[in-house]
Amino acid sequence: MSGRRQERVGDLIRDEVSDIIRRDVNDPRLGFVTITRAELSPDLRYARLFVSVFADDAERKQTLEVLNRASSFIRRTLAPRLRMRSIPELSFRLDQSMEHAESVARILRELETDEPSPATAPESDDELATP
C-alpha cells in the first residue's frame, strides 16, 4: 500500500470521525476534542487517531476512555460514509504536541526576557576590552 494512499485515507477518516464525534457522540463526559491526525496500518485495518483535549489531566483521561469505549459505535457510523471494503479498527491516543509546543514557547519567552536589551548591551568589541 502506498504511503500517499494511507495518508489520504487517514485524512478522510480523521475528518469523518471528527464530524461523528461532534454530531453523534452524546456523552457529557466528553471534553473539547480535536482530532489532530490519523495513522493507518499499511493494510488499512487499524487506525490510530491522535486527539488533543483542551482540559486538565483527569478530563483528558476520561475523554480518552469515552472515545475508546465509543470506538465501535463510531466505526459503525463511519461505515456508510466511506466506500471501503472494510472499516479500520479505531483506537484513540492523546496527542501532546500542543502541550509540547506551548512549553517550548514558554521557555523561549523566558529566555527572551533574560537577555539584555540592545540599549544596555555594548556596541563594539572595543568597549569589552579592559585597559
Q: Each residue of 14-69: pLDDT tens digit?
A: 999 999 999 999 888 887 899 999 999 999 999 999 999 888 889 989 999 999 99
- State pTM to two decimals: 0.73
Residue 68 to residues 51, 62, 92, 123, Cα–Cα distance (Å): 11, 10, 6, 60
* SS3 of residue 49 by DSSP: strand
Q: Are 50 and 64 in contact (CB under 8 A)?
A: no
Let me know if 75 is exposed, middle or buried by CB neighbors in 10 A (0-12, 13-18, 19+).
Answer: middle
